[in-house]
Homo-oligomer: A and B are copies of this chain.
Amino acid sequence: MKASLGSIVREARELFRHHGYDGASMQDLATKVGLKKASLYTRFPTKEALVPEVLTLTNDELFVDLPEADPLAAYGVVLERIARGLSAETRCVGLHLAYGASGPDTPDAAKAVRGFFTGQRDRLAALLAPSVGEARARELAGDAIARLEGATVWTVVEGDVEPMARALRLSLSEAASSHRR
């Protein structure tokens, strides 16, 4: 076992993030992890099977080690992690895959992408629900995710991270003021 499963998934994530589903090739992935292409197929049955692994890994990293006592603080921590990650990498794997692998071909990938975003929103909303109600919590979380994802437009085309910072601030204050009511 020359390359660990985790390292393969992490490299696949990098390729998907920067080249998209079609643009990322199994050959490139094999080279990156120091294997031959055929060897990858002993670990993953298809290219598509990489997508759920990549996305669940990414979401798990976002929701680990949160302050249990203070849900509002936990909400803020997750948003900050998302914003920091998007600023550092300029792009979102999930969004690139949402645009590139949500068609009727690759149905497993499409389902994984859907689960990535709805899971992210619903776990965020769960942190807000006790204080602002379920419906409003879902709106706040969904809008926050959309704003951060949208700000990647500017990180990608201009390398400008200020819009991301503004989107983060807005969503944090929005949650805080909804909470106070």
Contact = CB atoms under 8 A, between A and B. Distances in A.
A70 interface: no
A103 B117 CA distance: 26
A145 B153 contact: yes
Contacts of A167: 143, 146-147, 150
A139 interface: yes
A4 B142 CA distance: 42
A76 interface: no
Contacts of A65: none
Interface in A63-100: 91, 95-96, 98-100
Contacts of A102: 156-157
A139 B166 contact: yes
Contact of A114 (B20, B114, B157): B157
A153 B157 contact: no
